[in-house]
């Protein structure tokens, strides 16, 4: 082979190797981002598990409100709750 052909081949090899190195760097960056995303998801799942008991109570509250036949009953219950709060020494 001539000297120019081997030089061209060497340049092509270097170019290809640089591209592969760049791809490897990008893959590593993506893996790091994926790990961070997994950590965030685990944190969100933990928060949701903490909220689960409160979310389960919403259905019970809706059912209890649905059991009240009219607004007079609601007003009477609210008045009794406020009166009970004052009798226990509640402060504003």
pLDDT band at 6 (very low <50, low <70, confident <90, very high): confident
Whether the Cβ atoms of residue 68 and residue 74 lie closer than 8 Å to each other: yes
Altogether, the residues listed in the chain come to a count of: 92
- 39 vs 29, 35, 50, CA distance in Å? 16, 6, 17
pLDDT in the model for residue 31: 95
Q: How confident is the model at residue 34 (pLDDT cuts 50, 70, 90)?
A: very high
Q: In this structure, what DSSP letter does residue 89 have?
A: T
Q: Is the dihedral of CA 9, 14, 17, 23 positive or negative?
A: negative
């Amino acid at each position: 082979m001539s000297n120019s052909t081997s030089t061209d081949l060497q340049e092509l090899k270097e170019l290809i190797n640089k591209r592969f190195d760049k791809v490897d760097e990008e893959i590593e960056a993506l893996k790091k981002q994926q790990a961070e995303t997994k950590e965030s998801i685990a944190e969100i799942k933990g928060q949701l598990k903490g909220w689960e008991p409160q979310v389960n109570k919403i259905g019970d509250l809706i059912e209890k409100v649905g059991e009240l036949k009219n607004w007079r009953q609601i007003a009477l219950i609210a008045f009794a709750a406020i009166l009970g709060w004052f009798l226990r020494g509640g402060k504003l």
